[in-house]
Amino acid sequence: MHRQLLLLGLLRREDMHGYRLNEFIERDMAFCTDIKKPTAYYLLDRLADEGYLAEVDDPEPADGRPPRKTFGITPEGERRFAELLRQNLQAVDAPTFPVDMSIAFLDALPPGEALALLHAREAALRARLESIRETPGHRSGALRLVVDHHITYLECELDWLAEVIAWVETQDADQEGPST
């Protein structure tokens, strides 16, 4: 559903063909969406079938290039967009973190190995945080807020991971015995 919203939202700003759309999404939105090319093409056709998009004439057809299907949003599409926007903004999704399942059974691992894996995870999260911080563009406008969302989230993940690591370390110490 947020995928439809994305496509409608982008086409609301400018008519585009699938290839350009996918290019833009890959370059500028990859950090916040996971829509894949075939899905985008499929959804474009479906949204057009449903009357939310309409195929328009290619404003600058390039010769010796495959023909392209340029889409524009229709008035019904605008209405649909607003509807999805409100729905999506109100929906409070309960996210699930796959890693939680590992944490729940962390005692099944030798503490040493657990710590090594957790530190590796920490490094990976830090790397991602850096790469998002260094992302060019998105310096202004609403997209900045989305970048901030991911930065805030990664920082919170790191805080929590530190807590997990501390916990494993105390477990480890307890196991060695406080008598040592």
Site residues (vs a copy of itself, CB under 8 A): 1-2, 5-6, 9, 12, 29, 31-34, 81-82, 85-86, 88-109, 114, 117-118, 120-121, 124-125, 128, 141-143, 145-146, 148-149, 152-153, 155-156, 159-160, 163-164, 167
Q: Which residues contact 54 (CB under 8 A, 6 or more apart)?
A: 48, 71, 72, 73, 74
Q: Which of residues 60-119 bind DNA (CB under 7 A)?
A: 62, 64-70
DSSP-derived secondary structure for 37-89: HHHHHHHHHHHHHTTSEEEE--SSPPTTS----EEEE-HHHHHHHHHHHHHHH
Closest approach of DNA to the CB of residue 50, in Å: 12
For a copy of itself, the closer of residues 141 and 178 by Cβ is: 141
CB 88 within 8 A of CB 2: yes
61 vs 131, beta carbon nearer a copy of itself: 131
Instruction: Pull the structure tokens for residue 57.
Output: 């004439």
For residue 18, give the nearest of 45, 41, 46, 48 by alpha carbon.
41
Residue 62 interface partner, choices a copy of itself, DNA, none, CB cut-off 5-8 Å depending on type: DNA
Taking residues 21 to 60 in sequence order and writing x for each that binds DNA by CB under 7 A, - otherwise, the string is --x----------xxxxxx-xxxxx---------------
